[in-house]
Amino acid sequence: METEPQDAVMARLIEAVEVIAATGKGDGPKAVLAAWPDYRRKNAKRRRQFPPQVISRAEEAITWFALVDDADARRALQFEVMCKAGGGTFSRVCEKYGWKRSTVTSRNRTVLKKVAEKVRGAGQGLE
C-alpha cells in the first residue's frame, strides 16, 4: 500500500525536526563543559549522531516550510510537526491560540498536499 503524499511530507518534516533537535548547535556553556571527561561521557549518552545523508534529508525537508505562502497556515503546520516530533501536545497549542484542533488538522492536511505537489514539481523526492 502506497503512502499518501501528505503523509510522506509529514513524516519527512517530523524526521527533520527530530534530527535537527538532536544534532543542534553545541556552542555555549555545554561546549565548555564537554571538555571535561566526566561531562562528555554523560552528554554522549543523550546525544544521538546521524549519518550525513540523514542530516542532508533533514535540511532539505525543513526548507519545505517556506513553500507554504500563508504565514498562519505555515505556523499551524510547524506547531503540529513540532508536537508530533515530541515537542508537546498539539491540543494544548490549539487551545492556547483559540484554534479548533480538528479544523487546524484538516487544514494542515490540505497544506501538506500542496507542499507535496510543489516538492514533486521541483523534482525532489518525498521518500
At 89-112, the pLDDT tens digits run: 899 999 999 999 999 999 999 999
Residue 114 maps to a domain: yes
Residue 127 maps to a domain: no
The pTM (predicted TM-score) of the whole model is 0.77
Residue 31 maps to a domain: yes
pLDDT greater than 70 at residue 41: no
Structure-derived torsion over alpha carbons of residues 111, 114, 119, 122, reported in degrees to the nearest 10: -140
Residue 126 maps to a domain: no
Looking at the structure of the chain, the number of domains it has is 1
Residue showing cell 502506497: 2
Q: What are phi and psi of 100, to 5 degrees?
A: -90, 120
Residue 48 maps to a domain: yes
Containing structural domain, residue 111: 5-121
Average pLDDT over every residue of 58-64: 92
Residue 27 maps to a domain: yes
Residue 88 maps to a domain: yes
Over pLDDT 70: what percentage of the chain?
76
Residue 56 maps to a domain: yes
The number of helix segments (H) and strand segments (E) in the chain equals: 7, 0
